[in-house]
Structure 1
């Protein structure tokens, strides 16, 4: 009787996890193929041992919370070429083994920073051919093992440098066909790209769409001289914010009686040179050469002051070296002039003495002849 009951339970369990009728399944390779079946939703009754799930070329419009809870072992998930416009922040919750994820050729406008939080093994992420305006910088903390990132054919005008700096294992990157705005805020991306390519990274291109004078120019080939106005403005902006935040700190300390630990009053100064150099915002300042900036990463005031002091010391040393070189050059010129004068004088003296000897020799034969 117990044997019959166990068999019945196993039979029910196998039926519960049978291959969905819309898909084809391979129990040996643990692959479920649901491509081009006109699906509007994720199929149900997927086997929990599924490791590869292919859902491209369907009509799926969104991914709800824990949409793949039935297949926690899946490694490859392809959702490309659907009509996905919204993805729940917890849609991928439980997929701790996911290595490759494709959401290409959809209609995504944004990605929540929590979406990839539980996944630490992701190595391939394709978000190309969407309508993404940007990616949250905090998302980079969840992508430290990523080796490929596809962002081509979106609506990106800039990209947070903090996101890219977190991708320490990135080998290939696609950024083409985005309306990049090559202004002050893109200097950070330019600096990161140079380091990335120097280390052997592979990427396509970043062609500027704005401003008009930089249209169709590759960001990697634009000289830094064209960003000189942004850099000059950034330094003025930086010191203006230092003064503003120092006054704010003193006022806050007076209001609260200075009871907090000194470290709690540490000032943070927003820099103003793109993602790598920070953005605008904060203390009410603005940059005449650039548009309103996104929220930037703060920089400690003491670090900023130390940087200024070190820069001043270096400049002072350079000036002293230039002064020493000028003094040495002048002294050398004076010594050489004096040497030339003395040499000329000695030559004239020798010539005069030679003339005297010649006159004496002429007179001696004459005297001998008279005698």
Structure 2
């Protein structure tokens, strides 16, 4: 069963809008004015296989669905206003094999790192996607998210315990005409969303350390081989020497016995 609601100027979908359509498999909502997606949609349409939300004004998608959307195989949100997408939403669609994400306002900062890691696994397991082109910041603008090394992302800062109280104080002092610049500056610093992509510092002597370890290993190996060769040579030499001295002693004793017999024989004669 297919339902085509494209080009209808829809801006909102009520949670019960699709009640009774539990066998619907294809839903086309392209070219409307939708702003978000209801998380309860998966409960109303458990058999849905294709969902196309392209060419809307969607700027927010839920962090997760109320329950797994196990039958969904195609999910399209290209040509919207998305800047971020929580990987939890995609993880609640375990059957998705085609994912369309292009032409959004993707902000490639620390908050998109989870999505990047999920997409790498998704492609590795056979999924197909049209990719994500960064819209900001200027450092990565126009570049493919999957080609940016994830080592260059700083972890997102955790919200400060005093952030809530600071914001409450700021709201309480809203009647003041001139806010304190120090408070604004500190709030910007503690804002968890104000994190841009920064290169991760790497030790400059990493190559030297690796080279030192390799050279040390080679030298130790050579020394061990030399010691093993010396031990084998020493054992062989000792064995040959012992054999030679044993033969010499035997010959000496035999000659001594022969010399002792000759005078005895002559006396008998």
Fold match by TM threshold 0.5: yes
* 1:98-247 pair list within 5 angstroms: 98-139=24-65, 141-227=67-153, 230=154, 234=155
Aligned to 2:3: 77
Deviation at 1:219, TM superposition (A): 0.4
Matched, 1:97 2:16: no
* 1:266-345 pair list within 5 angstroms: 272=156, 280-281=158-159, 283=161, 292-293=192-193, 329-330=219-220, 332-333=222-223, 336=226
Note if contact 2:68-2:94 (Cα within 8 Å) is conserved in structure 1.
no
Summarize deviations over 1:21-77 as a string: whole Å, max 9, x none: xxxxxxxxxxxxxxxxxxxxxxxxxxxxxxxxxxxxxxxxxxxxxxxxxxxxxx211
User: Which residues of structure 2 form unaligned runs of 5+?
Assistant: 164-185, 195-211, 231-269
Deviation at 1:120, TM superposition (A): 1.1
Greater gyration radius: 2
User: Which residues of structure 1 form unaligned runs of 5+?
Assistant: 1-74, 235-271, 273-278, 295-321, 341-371
Q: How many angstroms apart in 1 are the aligned matches of 2:189 and 2:124? A: 30
Q: How many angstroms apart in 1 are the aligned matches of 2:25 and 2:190? A: 39
Greater RCO between the two (CA within 8 Å, min separation 6)? 2
Query: SS at 2:65's partner residue?
Result: helix
Aligned to 2:256: none
Note if contact 1:140-1:162 (Cα within 8 Å) is conserved in structure 2.
no
Query: SS at 1:125's partner residue?
Result: strand
Q: What is the number of residues matched between the two proteins?
A: 190
Query: SS at 2:139's partner residue?
Result: helix
Deviation at 1:225, TM superposition (A): 3.4
Flag the 1:170–1:94 CA change in 2: closer, same or farther, 3 A. same
Query: SS at 1:139's partner residue?
Result: coil
Aligned to 2:266: none
TM-score, normalisation: structure 1? 0.45
Flag the 1:76–1:284 CA change in 2: closer, same or farther, 3 A. farther
Q: How many angstroms apart in 2 are the aligned matches of 1:145 and 1:284? A: 44
TM-score, normalisation: structure 2? 0.61
Query: SS at 2:99's partner residue?
Result: strand
Deviation at 1:173, TM superposition (A): 0.8
Deviation at 1:116, TM superposition (A): 3.1
Flag the 1:183–1:291 CA change in 2: closer, same or farther, 3 A. farther
Structure 1 runs of 4+ aligned residues shifted over 6 Å read: none
Summarize deviations over 1:288-325 as a string: whole Å, max 9, x none: 9996349xxxxxxxxxxxxxxxxxxxxxxxxxxx99x9
Aligned to 2:178: none
Summarize deviations over 1:118-165 as a string: whole Å, max 9, x none: 221010000111111121122273422110001000011111101111
Q: How many angstroms apart in 1 are the aligned matches of 2:86 and 2:152? A: 21
